[in-house]
Amino acid sequence: AQSVTQLGSHVSVSEGALVLLRCNYSSSVPPYLFWYVQYPNQGLQLLLKYTTGATLVKGINGFEAEFKKSETSFHLTKPSAHMSDAAEYFCAVSDNTDKLIFGTGTRLQVFP
């Protein structure tokens, strides 16, 4: 069965600094990987996803993630944080059954 581990329940960065949110997965088959974002008092929305092909995936709002099979990782990055990036971020994995399993989330705080 697939699973997801997000290291760090809280991450704080200064505005303009690099954002790095970590995600490691476990899957017995080639995984499909997702990052979702939940802004305060809003629903979850897809940030980006990896299915096949290019391992570096670009998403909305300047975020990107790289699928590294050898490290079973799918870390989320953004070169320069903005105040509006403050939210909770969830990594998720699915297999060929499409059952979607989420991590426990990482709350990102951005300080001016």
User: Binding to other proteins by residue 17, rule CB under 8 A?
Assistant: no
Q: CB under 8 A: which stretch of 17-25, 60-68, 69-77, 97-105 binds other proteins?
A: 97-105
* The length of the chain, given as a count of residues: 112
Q: Of residues 49, 62, 77, 86, which one binds other proteins by CB under 8 A?
A: 49
Core vs surface per residue 82-111: b (16+ CB within 10 A) or e: eeebbbbbbbbbbbeeeeebebebbebebe
Integer Cα distance of 95 and 101 in angstroms: 9
User: Binding to other proteins by residue 45, rule CB under 8 A?
Assistant: yes
User: Binding to other proteins by residue 94, rule CB under 8 A?
Assistant: yes
Contact predicate 11/109, CB 8 Å: yes
Residues that bind other proteins (CB under 8 A): 6, 9, 32, 34, 36, 43-46, 49, 51-52, 90, 92, 94, 96-105
